[in-house]
Structure formats: C-alpha cells, structure tokens
Amino acid sequence: MKTFYLEASLSGLGKWLRFLGYKVEMVSGRLTKEEILKNRNKFFLITSIETAEMLEKLQVDYLLLPRNSLKAQLLTLITKLNLKPRLTLDICTLCGSKLIPVKKEDFKDRIPPKVWERYSEFNYCPKCDKLYWEGDHIKRLKRRFKELITPLL
C-alpha cells in the first residue's frame, strides 16, 4: 500500500489511519503543483475540489473526502479503498513508526508499579523513546473507533 499524503486539515483522519496500520504523511502548507509532483507516488487525501482537479490533471492517485466530519471521512475512505476496519495499534501515534515489542524487564524503571502488575505486553518507539502498553488509552481508542465506523458493522 502506498503512503497516504494528507492535506493539513485532515490531521484527525491521519491519526486514525496510523492506528489502522497505514503510513501517513501530512502536508504542512498549501498543496502546490511542485509539492504534488515531488510526491506523485503517494496516495493523496484531500477535501478541496480545486486540488482534486489539479491531481486529476497530473494523473496522481487521490480521493476527495467530505469536509469537517471525521466520521464521514473515515467511512468514505474505508468503503472506497476497501480498507480493513481493524485497528493494528502497532504504530507510534506521535511519529508513525512501527513499534517494537519489548520485554518489560528491560524497562522496569520506567513502568509504574500498577501497570507492571496488570500488563505483560509492551511496545516501544525507538524514534520517540516512548513506551506503550495495552492500557485504558487503548480501550478508549477501540471504543471510539467502534462509534466512528458503526454504520459499517
């Protein structure tokens, strides 16, 4: 699967795409023709018709998404591109790198005692130096995702 290249207003969607296990890059400024040509091997996700016309002319893969509604964006994307609506959660939410499963013994000094008692699976992002475990945060995410994609289930 190609890397998704998202216009700046779609940062919320970008986060969820990472949870689904896809590579995501965010456009920082306006999408210019030069910017598009530089990234023409990526899959563009956009909300502007003008940009869609530009991408069409340059023959770059893209999908035009509805503005403002994360739910509508996510549903459109999953349906149109036939993505699996399943969270992989092995991707760092900060930088998008793949997480590495680690032994908790190696991180003992960084894990709160309660977490140490309750969980055995830990993942680590070497780039951000961040440790992840299947905590309440993940439970909340799963619940929220279910709400978002409910019409598909």
Q: Annotate the chain with three-state secondary structure.
A: CCCEEECHHHHHHHHHHHHCCCCEEECCCCCCHHHHHHCCCCEEEECCHHHHHHHHHCCCCEEECCCCCHHHHHHHHHHHCCCCCCCCCCECCCCCCECEEECHHHHHHHCCHHHHHHCCCEEEECCCCEEEECCHHHHHHHHHHHHHHHHHC
C-alpha span between 28 and 56 (Å, rounded): 21
String marking each residue 80-119 x if it binds Zn ion according to CB under 5 A: ------------x-xx-x----------------------
- Closest contact distance (angstroms) between CB of 131 and Zn ion is 11
What residue number has its CB nearest to Zn ion? 92
Q: How far is the CB of 114 from Zn ion (least distance, A)?
A: 24
Q: Which is nearer to Zn ion, 4 or 44 (CB)?
A: 4
Task: Verify binding: residue 58, Zn ion, rule CB under 5 A.
Answer: no
Rule CB under 5 A: choose which of 125, 132, 145, 148 binds Zn ion.
125
Shortest Å, Cβ 76 to Zn ion: 28
- Say if strands 122-125 and 43-46 run parallel, antiparallel, or are unpaired: unpaired
Contacting Zn ion (CB under 5 A), which of 8, 58, 81, 128? 128
Q: Which is nearer to Zn ion, 94 or 152 (CB)?
A: 94
Q: Which is nearer to Zn ion, 75 or 125 (CB)?
A: 125
Tell the smallest beta-carbon distance from residue 124 to Zn ion (Å). 9
Contacts to Zn ion by CB under 5 A: 92, 94-95, 97, 125, 127-128
